[in-house]
Amino acid sequence: MPQISLTVNGKPVSATVEARTLLVELLRDKLHLTGTHVGCDTSQCGACTVQVDGMSVKSCTMLAVQAEGASVLTIEGLVNADGSLHPMQAMFREHHALQCGYCTPGMVMSAIDLVETHPEGLSEEQIRHGLEGNLCRCTGYHNIVKAIAAAWPLMHNKALPVAAE
Amino acid sequence: MVVDGIGASVKRKEDLRFLSGRGNYVDDMNRPGQTFAHFLRSDVPHGKINKVDISAALKMPGVVAIFTGDDFTGVGGIPCGWQIHSKDGSPMVEPRHPVLAAGKVRHVGDPIAMVVAETKQQAKDAAEAIVLDIETLPAVAGMTAALAAGAPLVHDEAAGNVCFDWHIGDKAAVEAGFAKAHKVVRLDLVNNRLVPNAMEPRAAIGDYDVSSGEYTLYTTSQNPHVIRLLMGAFVLSIPEHKLRVVAPDVGGGFGSKIFHYAEEAALTWAAGKVKRPIKWTADRTEAFITDAHGRDHISTAELALDSEGNFLALKVNTQANMGAYLSTFAPSVPTYLSATLLAGVYKTPAIYAEVKAVFTNTVPVDAYRGAGRPEATFLVERIVDVAAREMNMDKVEIRKKNFIPKEAFPYQTPIALQYDSGDYMATFDGCLKAADYAGFEARRKASAAKGKLRGIGISTYVEACGIAPSAVAGALGARAGLYEVANIRVHPTGSVTVFTGAHSHGQGHETTFAQLVSEQLGVPHDMIDIVHGDTGKVPFGMGTYGSRSLSVGGSAMVKAMDKIIDKGKKIAAHLMEADVHDIEFKDGKFSVVGTDKAKTFGEIALTAYVPHNYPIEELEPGLEETAFYDPKNFTYPGGCHIAEVEIDPDTGTVGMVSFTAVDDIGRVINPMIVEGQVQGGIAQGIGQALLEHAIYDESGQLLSGSMMDYTMPRADDIPNISVGTEVTLCTHNPLGSKGVGEVGAIGSPPAVINAVVDALRDYGVRHVDMPATPAKIWALIDAYQPKMAAE
């Protein structure tokens, strides 16, 4: 069986996996990082979203062996060493953007990618479109959209530009 | 003064663990020595099992055991919790629902064998090596096919595939109403079949402790005590003291996790056989073909009106799909949870409904968010809109004319229910204002200028929740009590642990219930913990469904806290050498009325556990109380929802422009959480109205069997949702709360469809069945032949 080495949440890890093992299975079953969830078999729901080398990736669509040498960030790695929350996590709480919590880790990881890749600003329409790959069955998205808009200024250290109509 | 008490939008306690990946869902749990199960399932809708050959599979790597239907011959069937009687007095046909298929398979997904292996993959690999000899039988997927003469039978004992043929109401009074009608409006409606799709797939771990003989089931359930009762007493014959059911963090339920499922019994039973824990987690495909589906009604409705537009009588005939087996509460959904709501918010004097429940070769159908009430509301609010148009009346006016006036409460409907309180005009006027109904024509014109068809749809509703007064539910066929239980444990230093039978799977109970306790006992929010979801910790309970957690579960807490305060007063009276009748409890202090003498809640708690100066002859030490609360009536939230849509006539695409809700849910504890509950329910209602449909082909294969085929609402399908409240208090529970979990899913589908039909007003469209997909809308527009000027 293949042996792989990678960095997860800043720590080097090695594991022996089957060739068919998915990245999400490595994270959950071998590394016991159960914050990353599996919600579907078809890459539709986004509950398993993590960052691989700075890009958001559905970890159910990537083989563990493909992460050889990569740096993976999961929801567990977002919390600062002093226990304080990432601005996106904090805004999700502030705006009641989660209910059952199951889609939340993937939603937060996608939302961070969305904000990071849009330094020029984000309209509500862009946020809604940007969440296409993440399903939430509880919130109706209203508060998730609000939370992301509220996190943008905190992550970019400036006011969110008002979209030109 | 309590700052985090009733009415405050307190941020949720549970958020920190969910946001940092420290939730504890069943699939996150692992037990020492754990094995993994995989279920081999039927891929044919109906078939006779000739042979299940496991000999090769048993030799596969890592296999611990393989069980088939034959192994479960001494085990009970999965029980149904609600019995309906047909018109002729006969009980519903209740075929045996075996844990693993016995003799026959009856739907795609019916479990045939359970493979237990050292790893998940080994269990899956071994299942592939099982050789099945199944003779395919003709199947019935839809109700029309199932009810046709000579149709194949799902169960031999259910002639014509009919489970029951039930009715309610005064047929003669309805006929009299129709006889004097100025106009009769008739409408055929389909309430589309849905897949609940909580984001967390079901999962379970069966565990058996050889030394104590105790079984533990970890499961994704909304009601662990109910699972213990059903599985222990009816399926596996394990007494309660040897069976613990734990439902930890659960990732959404929406009804689908109420029911006792075969996998739970199979895993628990098999754990006792292999003497090791066995874990199973459904993948999404498995969820689609095993989780109970929702809705699936076909109805014909007729409304009789006088010349002024007053409703005289309503007659409804419904066929309700039960699927292949009776799920836990399935028979109650189209009957007592739906037909009894056909009065809606209107004073229709005579109502008669008939419901035929039908077996088909499909997944069982049961309660899904709203359970029966969305079906009733869709029917009533659609026919009212059609009636308004055919009477040339305004859709606002026809509703106002027929509302039950607020002076009429308590209001006895002609079909069983007595509404305790409400003010439908207030929620209606509030919603019209919030949605700027008056300004709609200008918005319609603006859309028309862009080539878009804009429509506005109104829906009003009342629902019955806070389930349920046990005696009433029992008389209607429920096989269990429907009270709720709370145990309040005050610790020596004055902190509080609350053990509740209600279960939180997204509702935020850990926050809301703590607010309730903080308000009543004056203890700070962070000194209160809410424990739920473990029969080993919580004395008893009936769980969470039917928007009952606060109105029933919260009322049990109030009752238990009343006992705590009563006992505290006795201790305080002793300490302050006063008469107990002179002790007042307020803001966390016991004081002697008219003096400045007082003891804090914490001092009384400490005294109760360190009873050195204590009325030990009259009073036991300790400060812990349990209460069972059985509601006196259902609760009746009501309100108004308004949807605005814009249709692109070139593509048939329906865009949701805005959605406005004003609901009366009684007393609100946490407005932030309430708003979230309403928004989430509305998103599911919009999903039902525009996107979602569980489609079986004629042979019984589920075509929309994955999230690639079944259209779940995504962020860009849903508009911003404006939520408001108008409050009339529930008159029969101590909180005055009515329930909020389901209102969004109940009120919204007819608002959306009324808006779609309104947008298509110039295209001769009278009704659109859900979901109003682009293909359906485009076909309606395309088929329209404008009437020529000569006419």
A140 chain-B contacts, CB cut-off 8 A: 676, 679-684, 713, 718, 721, 744
Task: Identify whether residues B767 and B673 lie together within a single domain.
Answer: yes
Last residue of a domain, one of B629, B645, B665: B629
pLDDT at A165: 41
What's the one-letter identity of residue B641? H
Task: Give the C-alpha distances (Å, rounded to integers) separating A60 from A22, A27, A34, B151, B236.
Answer: 6, 10, 13, 43, 37
- Looking at the domain assignment, is residue B597 inside a domain? yes
Rounded to 5 degrees, φ, ψ at B291 are -65, 140
- Looking at the domain assignment, is residue A13 inside a domain? yes
pLDDT at B791: 46
Q: How many separate domains does chain A show? A: 2
Instruction: Work out the angle at residue B9's Cα, subtended by the Cα atoms of residues B3 and B10, and round it to the nearest 5 degrees.
Output: 65
Q: Which residue in chain A has the smallest CA separation from B707?
A: A44
- Is the Cβ–Cβ distance between B463 and B374 less than 8 Å? no
Q: Which residue in chain A has the smallest CA separation from B722?
A: A142
pLDDT at B41: 98
Last residue of a domain, one of B594, B629, B664: B629
Last residue of a domain, one of B629, B651, B681: B629
DSSP H or E stretch at residue B571: helix B555-575
Please name every residue paired with B496 in a beta bridge, in sequence order, or none if there are none.
B490, B528
CB contact under 8 A, A101 and B198: no
B680 chain-A contacts, CB cut-off 8 A: 99, 137-140
What residues of chain B score a pLDDT lower than 70?
A: 1-2, 787-791
pLDDT at B2: 66
- Looking at the domain assignment, is residue B174 inside a domain? no
A33 chain-B contacts, CB cut-off 8 A: 21
Task: Identify whether residues B651 and B791 lie together within a single domain.
Answer: yes
Task: Identify whether residues A137 and A115 lie together within a single domain.
Answer: yes
Task: Identify whether residues A71 and A95 lie together within a single domain.
Answer: no
Kindly report the nearest CA distance between residue A93 and chain B, in angstroms.
6
pLDDT tens per residue across span A104-123 = 999 999 999 999 999 999 99
Are β-strands B638-648 and B583-586 bridged in parallel, bridged antiparallel, or unpaired? unpaired
Please name every residue paired with B453 in a beta bridge, in sequence order, or none if there are none.
B647
Task: Identify whether residues B539 and B429 lie together within a single domain.
Answer: no
pLDDT at B789: 52
Task: Identify whether residues A14 and A42 lie together within a single domain.
Answer: yes
A143 chain-B contacts, CB cut-off 8 A: 676, 679
Task: Identify whether residues B617 and B532 lie together within a single domain.
Answer: yes
Domain around B709: 419-464+635-791
Task: Identify whether residues B539 and B611 lie together within a single domain.
Answer: yes
Task: Identify whether residues A97 and A32 lie together within a single domain.
Answer: no
- CA dist A39 and B154 (Å) reads 32
Q: Which two tokens stand for residue B466?
A: 């806070």
CATH number of residue B533's parent domain: 3.30.365.10
CATH number of residue A19's parent domain: 3.10.20.30
Give the pLDDT band (50/70/90) at residue A161: confident
Are β-strands B350-359 and B589-592 bridged in parallel, bridged antiparallel, or unpaired? unpaired
Are β-strands B583-586 and B528-531 bridged in parallel, bridged antiparallel, or unpaired? unpaired
DSSP A23-42: HHHIIIIIS--TTS----SS
CA-wise closest residue to B621 among B584, B568, B686, B685: B568
> How would you write B50-98 as a 3-class SS string?
EEEECHHHHCCCCEEEEEEHHHHCCCCCCCCCECCECCCCCECCCCCCC
Nearby residues of B172 by Cβ (< 8 Å), 6 or more positions away: none
Last residue of a domain, one of A76, A107, A139: A76
Task: Identify whether residues B671 and B750 lie together within a single domain.
Answer: yes
Task: Identify whether residues B658 and B753 lie together within a single domain.
Answer: yes
- Whether residue B410 has a cis bond before it, omega within 30° of 0: yes
Task: Give the C-alpha distances (Å, rounded to integers) separating A28 from B18, B28, B29.
Answer: 16, 8, 10
Please name every residue paired with B359 in a beta bridge, in sequence order, or none if there are none.
B323
Task: Identify whether residues A24 and A61 lie together within a single domain.
Answer: yes
- Looking at the domain assignment, is residue A108 inside a domain? yes
Last residue of a domain, one of A24, A53, A76: A76
CATH number of residue A134's parent domain: 1.10.150.120
- Looking at the domain assignment, is residue B290 inside a domain? no
What is the crossing angle of helices A142-156 and A87-94, to 10°?
A: 140
- Looking at the domain assignment, is residue B104 inside a domain? no
- Looking at the domain assignment, is residue B432 inside a domain? yes
Last residue of a domain, one of A29, A44, A76: A76
- CA dist B742 and B374 (Å) reads 9
- CA dist B397 and B578 (Å) reads 62
- Looking at the domain assignment, is residue B34 inside a domain? no
Which of B10, B14, B19, B25 is best to mutate for the A interface (most A CBs within 10 A)?
B19
Please name every residue paired with B25 in a beta bridge, in sequence order, or none if there are none.
B249
Residue carrying the six token digits 């958001």: A56
Task: Identify whether residues B790 and B647 lie together within a single domain.
Answer: yes
Task: Identify whether residues B488 and B544 lie together within a single domain.
Answer: yes
CA-wise closest residue to B627 among B517, B495, B519, B737: B517
Q: How many separate domains does chain B show? A: 2
- Looking at the domain assignment, is residue B527 inside a domain? yes
- Is the Cβ–Cβ distance between B548 and B484 less than 8 Å? yes
Task: Identify whether residues A64 and A31 lie together within a single domain.
Answer: yes
DSSP B463-476: --BS---HHHHHHT
Nearby residues of B188 by Cβ (< 8 Å), 6 or more positions away: B298, B299, B300, B301, B767
Residue carrying the six token digits 């609940």: B196
Task: Identify whether residues B677 and B728 lie together within a single domain.
Answer: yes
Task: Identify whether residues A115 and A70 lie together within a single domain.
Answer: no
Task: Identify whether residues A25 and A72 lie together within a single domain.
Answer: yes
pLDDT at B73: 87
A149 chain-B contacts, CB cut-off 8 A: none
Alpha helices in B391-544 (DSSP H): 395-402, 424-434, 440-449, 470-475, 509-521
Task: Identify whether residues B700 and B734 lie together within a single domain.
Answer: yes
CA-wise closest residue to B501 among B520, B522, B482: B482
- Looking at the domain assignment, is residue B181 inside a domain? no
In chain B, residues 198-237 whose CB comes closer than 8 Å to chain A: 198-201
pLDDT tens per residue across span B741-766 = 999 999 999 999 999 999 999 999 99
pLDDT tens per residue across span B227-284 = 999 999 999 999 999 999 999 999 999 999 999 999 999 999 999 999 999 999 999 9
Task: Identify whether residues B668 and B756 lie together within a single domain.
Answer: yes
Task: Give first-to-last CA distance, chain A, whole Å.
Answer: 56
Out of B199, B284, B672, name the one closest to residue A136 (CB).
Answer: B199
Task: Identify whether residues A61 and A95 lie together within a single domain.
Answer: no
- Looking at the domain assignment, is residue A165 inside a domain? no
- Whether residue B631 has a cis bond before it, omega within 30° of 0: no
- Looking at the domain assignment, is residue A163 inside a domain? no
- Looking at the domain assignment, is residue A162 inside a domain? no
Q: Which two tokens stand for residue B107?
A: 């739907």
A45 chain-B contacts, CB cut-off 8 A: 199, 284, 707
pLDDT tens per residue across span A75-90 = 999 999 898 999 999 9
Task: Identify whether residues A72 and A33 lie together within a single domain.
Answer: yes
Judged by a CB distance cut-off of 8 A, whether residue B254 touches chain A is: yes
Task: Identify whether residues A48 and A96 lie together within a single domain.
Answer: no
If you average pLDDT over every residue of chain A, what do you get? 96
pLDDT tens per residue across span B332-363 = 999 999 999 999 999 999 999 999 999 999 99
- CA dist B631 and B470 (Å) reads 8
CB contact under 8 A, B25 and A74: no
Task: Identify whether residues A69 and A95 lie together within a single domain.
Answer: no
Domain around A106: 87-156
